[in-house]
Amino acid sequence: MLKIVKFGGTSLATAEQLQKVKNIVDADPARRVIVPSAPGKAHKEDTKVTDLLYLVHELAAMKQSIDQVWTKIMDRFNGIISELGLDMNLSKEFEEIRKKLIEGVDSQYMASRGEALNGRIVAAYLDAEYIDAADVIKIASNGRAHPSSYDLIRKLCPDDTRRYVIPGFYGSTTSGEVATFSRGGSDVTGAIVANALDADVYENWTDVSGFLMTDPRIVASAKHIENITYTELRELSYMGAGVLHEEAVFPIREKGIPINIRNTNNPEDKGTMIVADRDSSSQKIVGIAGQKGFSVFYIEKAMMNEEIGFGRRVLDVFEHLGISYEHMPSGIDTVSVVVKTTKINGKMDQIMEDLNRLKIDNLKVLENMSLIATVGKGMNHVIGLAAKLFMALAEADINIRMIDQGSSEQNIIVGVEEKDHEKAIKAIYTTFA
**Residue 139: which H helix or E strand, with range?**
strand 138-139
By CB under 6 A, is residue 50 in contact with ligand ASP? yes
By CB under 6 A, is residue 17 in contact with ligand ASP? no
By CB under 6 A, is residue 364 in contact with ligand ASP? no
| Residues 252 and 194 sit within 8 Å (Cβ to Cβ) | yes
The stretch among 80-88, 141-149, 181-189, 401-409 that binds ligand ASP (CB under 6 A) is 181-189
Q: How many residues bind ligand ASP (CB under 6 A)?
A: 14
The stretch among 66-74, 177-185, 247-255, 368-376 that binds ligand ASP (CB under 6 A) is 177-185
Q: In the complex, what is the shortest distance from the CB of residue 118 to ligand ASP, in angstroms, rounded to a whole number? A: 9
User: Strands, DSSP E only, in 91-142?
Assistant: 129-130, 138-139
By CB under 6 A, is residue 122 in contact with ligand ASP? no
By CB under 6 A, is residue 287 in contact with ligand ASP? no
Q: In the complex, what is the shortest distance from the CB of residue 37 to ligand ASP, in angstroms, rounded to a whole number? A: 4
Q: Closer to ligand ASP at the Cβ: 226 or 246?
A: 246
Which residues pair with residue 204 across a beta bridge? 6, 261
Q: In the complex, what is the shortest distance from the CB of residue 249 to ligand ASP, in angstroms, rounded to a whole number? A: 15
Local structure of 431: helix, strand or coil: helix
The stretch among 80-88, 184-192, 251-259, 279-287 that binds ligand ASP (CB under 6 A) is 184-192
Q: Which of 99, 155, 162, 183 binds ligand ASP (CB under 6 A)?
A: 183
Alpha carbons 198 and 4: distance in angstroms, whole number: 10
| Residues 187 and 249 sit within 8 Å (Cβ to Cβ) | no
Contact flags string 22-41 toward ligand ASP, x per CB under 6 A: ---------------xx---
**Chain Cα centroid distance, residue 280:** 24
Identity of the amino acid at 262: R
Give the β-pairing of 334-340 and 287-300. Answer: antiparallel
Name 427's Cβ contacts closer than 8 Å, sequence gap at least 6: 392, 393, 395, 396, 398
| Residues 117 and 77 sit within 8 Å (Cβ to Cβ) | yes
Q: Closer to ligand ASP at the Cβ: 247 or 404?
A: 247
Sheet holding 411-417, edge to edge: 334-340, 287-300, 362-375, 411-417, 402-405
Q: In the complex, what is the shortest distance from the CB of residue 278 to ligand ASP, in angstroms, rounded to a whole number? A: 27
Residue 81, Cβ density class (10 Å: 0-12 exposed, 13-18 middle, ≥19 buried): buried
Q: Which of 70, 77, 109, 169 binds ligand ASP (CB under 6 A)?
A: 169
Q: Which of 3, 4, 7, 9 binds ligand ASP (CB under 6 A)?
A: 9
By CB under 6 A, is residue 114 in contact with ligand ASP? yes
| Residues 77 and 138 sit within 8 Å (Cβ to Cβ) | no
**Footprint of ligand ASP (CB under 6 A):** 8-9, 37-38, 48, 50, 114, 168-169, 183-187
